[in-house]
Structure 1
Amino acid sequence: MRLLFIRHGEPDYEHDSLTEKGDREAKLLAEMMAKENIDDIYVSPLGRAQRTASFTLEKLGKTAVTCDWLQEFPRMLDINGSGILEKSYPNTRVKEDGTYEERILWDMLPRYLATEDNYLDNDCWDIAEVSRKVRLRNAYDQVTGELDALLETYGYRRNGHLYSVDKESKKTIAFFCHFGVTALLLSHIWNISPYIAWHSFCTLPTSVTELVTEEREKGIASFRTLRLGDISHLRVGGEEPSFMARFCEVYSDDTRH
């Protein structure tokens, strides 16, 4: 079985759609997707993912299933009253009443992860300070449970850290969604802390991440990653990759800190 996780094109967050550049990216993506032999497509309900998928759906003559659990996974955090959190989420906007606005939990400074070993521990990340504040385990289990329930319909049943094969499948299914939720789902499949996934890689707009099952023992499957954040379709099409989701490469560059 093959899974394709596809991030939406460059977003116009204000209108929950794509920029003109995002449309160009999504059209180039559709050209590549036409060669991927996709069987089923699932898409986030958010507009930027829906529009990105629309070009591929039109190209393939297919329809998609919209899944609420594929929407972005921001899990907003209240940093007020915690000195260390206020320092770990720089440039937080201040509201009229003088308090800080909420922040997306995985936008913290990487240095903050080193303040508590639990963040990077697969068995303890859910008891780290931020995880407790946003009840991350509950949300994590809900989203990853939806993925496992879907995979079970294809014959792959989650069993501990691997998958039991109730029925073999060579289908390819594609998910048009977002960086945050993709990293979370990959952390589940890879059996690592989601904080490692959120902070160790970045999938750029319209990038493709590919996983395939390996069944080296009959009835036991694991997923192996063949591509992570592939943007070769943009290179081929002469489209410069978007900077969205990245931060400044060097501190003296004020692009985004």
Structure 2
Amino acid sequence: MYDYHIHSNFSTDSNMTMDQACRQSIELGLKEIAFTDHLDIDYPNFDDQFMIDFSLYTEQYNTVRAKYAPRLKVIKGIEIGLQPHTLRQSLEVASSYQFDYIIASTHVVDKLDLHNGDFCRGKAKEQAYRRYLEDMYDCIKLFPMFNVLGHIDLIRRYGNYDDKSMKYGDYADILDIILKWLIENGKGIEINTSGFRYNLNSTMPTPEFVRRYKELGGEILTIGSDAHSTDYIAYKFDLAYDISREAGFKYVTTFEQQQPSFKKIY
């Protein structure tokens, strides 16, 4: 198995070292992992909290890559939180540090934090969810240097709504536009299993998103735990692989130098 969304302590919200993550991954029998630490430029109220010391990051990555080869292949990735006014700076980072794999994510909309509830506060669910998706689309169109769009329905975690679900059919107009754009531009989606840790009782996105991506012709699919501790590396991966198969995927995708490889699902 391949865990393509792991946060080490280079992400402010993780205390797990790269070495600890590698040892746990080997213990679990994983073949390959990608470190995808956070870069969120101008994150509301936190200044440089979600910035990375890239020299030290690269040094630590090179150390564990060499130390654990050939038992575990370790990929140098990053998760970039997109905002319209930071795209130029994010592009500079993406093009400067030879990442193998880049996840594009939406954590902030209209300069309002999703995580603390600021963005959803005072908005009806449909208004908030639709604006989130519109902003996501606006950003990815202007940010060519990514491989996979992260946890597309992430906003479900944060709204204070009785029903947090994002049913595909309710937003099919904008979601189909996003998925078609990804497919036409050689980008993929991920199955992110962290939704099970946050009382969503599902992956992010839900299986219907994965099925629709496949129906539209999508082929690039990664699976990631979004682990911030060793307890959650490869969490619920059996279920994620089942979702992949049931959607019609025969392969999951890995990356090196941002070039995809397709690994058969057994």
Q: With the length of structure 1 as denominator, give the TM-score of the two structures.
A: 0.36
Relative contact order (C-alpha < 8 Å, sep 6+): which is higher?
1
Tell me which structure has the larger Cα radius of gyration: 1
